């Protein structure tokens, strides 16, 4: 009699159980959470402190330290940034001062960050999804041969201690959670205003680990010839506005979008819109709100004629109060708006702007939602 071995069951597809492998020995010593502190021309980008707040939560859950990493030229601004790390929750700070780091260039910053990671071995590295942060994160992840999840909307620690990084995918129609299971560090970028600003603690301090970076100017291909600041007065500050008024396709025409700007002016607010308006040329790209535009966290957000698809939702759901003005009571925005007015925005906005102008004096507009 002959016997035939039973066929082995197929590996489960699509689940983490089928993907998870044991972390290679060389990565098991990687510990702690790092945040890259984006310092340019003496100023730290606020997203760095927002990430410190989120990094604190991750570090506490993992039972490890939170570190701020400051790169820059020697001087008071760089040292001040280090002290600010402790004010926003750091346990330790890494400091690298070098003439070649005085201004951002990809080559020296990538080499320096790579050297730091290889020497001190963090398990998680977070960067802001700014122009600088995106440029640096991609090159550092490449040199370290590790994974990078970009433009995350949520960060968490899984049951096994892995970083669970959530971001929109398929054009913003779905949210997916991505894991870097077998490489370290686990890297992620997060756009400004996705996370709230943590409370500042003035009396906190801690150790500073200084690293000597030996790269010299002759080794760097790119040269900084001149710094020319962007003086485009039309650039928006949507991400940090307290009140934002935005419009969508429900307004019907580019001419009707002026109603949004009129209300914003009456309120002393900033203005923006959904992605379709940018695609049609109704508003400039820097006024787009949503996953592929700006993420905002205002005290008051007024959305006129915006349906509220997921790619828009992830950019506004951090607002304290969302007021939706829409003729469709079943629009997706109704699922997350705090208040809704079911009416035609084209008719309602002029009446609201008129009422605001009559009731609110110019010097009290800033206190509207205070």
72 has binding-site annotation = no
288 marked among binding-site residues: yes
Best CA proximity match to 204, nearest among 90, 95, 61, 93: 90
290 marked as part of a ligand binding site: yes
312 marked among binding-site residues: yes
Q: What is the CA radius of gyration of the chain?
A: 24
311 belongs to an annotated ligand binding site? yes
Is residue 220 marked as binding?
A: no
Interior angle at CA 329, CA 326 and CA 266, nearest 5: 25
358 in a known ligand binding site: no
307 labelled binding-site residue: yes
> 182: annotated binding-site residue?
no
309 carries a ligand binding annotation: yes
Ligand-binding annotation for 124, yes or no, is: no
The answer to the question of whether 357 is labelled as a binding residue is no
326 is in an annotated binding site: yes
18 is annotated as contributing to ligand binding: no
Annotated binding site for FAD: 274-275, 288-292, 305-312, 326
Annotated binding site: 274-275, 288-292, 305-312, 326
């Amino acid at each position: 009699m002959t016997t035939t071995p039973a066929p082995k069951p197929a590996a489960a597809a699509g689940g983490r159980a089928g993907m998870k492998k044991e972390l290679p020995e060389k990565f098991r010593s990687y510990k702690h959470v790092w945040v890259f502190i984006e310092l340019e021309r003496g100023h730290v980008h606020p997203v760095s402190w927002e990430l410190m707040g989120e990094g604190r939560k991750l570090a506490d859950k993992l039972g490890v330290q939170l570190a701020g990493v400051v790169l820059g030229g020697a001087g008071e601004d760089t040292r001040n940034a280090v002290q600010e790390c402790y004010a926003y929750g750091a346990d330790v700070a890494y400091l690298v001062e070098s003439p070649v780091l005085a201004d951002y260039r990809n080559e020296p910053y990538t080499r320096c960050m790579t050297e730091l990671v290889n020497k001190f071995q963090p398990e998680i590295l977070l960067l802001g999804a700014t122009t600088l942060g995106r440029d640096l994160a991609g090159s550092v992840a490449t040199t370290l041969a590790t994974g990078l999840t970009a433009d995350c909307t949520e960060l968490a620690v899984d049951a096994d201690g892995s970083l669970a990084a959530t971001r929109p995918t398929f054009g913003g129609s779905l949210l997916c959670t991505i894991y870097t299971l077998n490489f370290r560090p686990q890297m992620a970028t997060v756009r400004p205003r996705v996370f709230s600003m943590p409370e500042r603690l003035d009396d906190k301090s801690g150790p500073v680990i200084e690293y000597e970076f030996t790269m010299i100017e002759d080794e760097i291909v790119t040269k900084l010839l001149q710094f020319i600041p962007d003086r485009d007065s039309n650039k928006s500050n949507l991400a940090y506005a307290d009140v934002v008024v935005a419009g969508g396709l429900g307004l019907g025409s580019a001419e009707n979008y002026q109603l949004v700007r009129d209300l914003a002016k009456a309120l002393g607010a900033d203005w923006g819109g959904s992605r379709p308006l940018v695609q049609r040329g109704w508003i400039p790209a820097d006024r787009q709100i949503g996953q592929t535009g700006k993420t905002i966290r205002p005290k008051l957000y007024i959305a006129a004629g915006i349906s509220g698809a997921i790619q828009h939702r992830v950019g506004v759901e951090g607002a304290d109060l969302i007021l939706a003005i829409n003729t469709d009571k079943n629009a997706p925005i109704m699922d997350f708006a705090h208040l809704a007015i079911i009416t035609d925005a084209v008719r309602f906005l002029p009446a609201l702007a008129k009422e605001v102008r009559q009731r609110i004096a110019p010097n009290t507009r800033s206190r509207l939602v205070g």
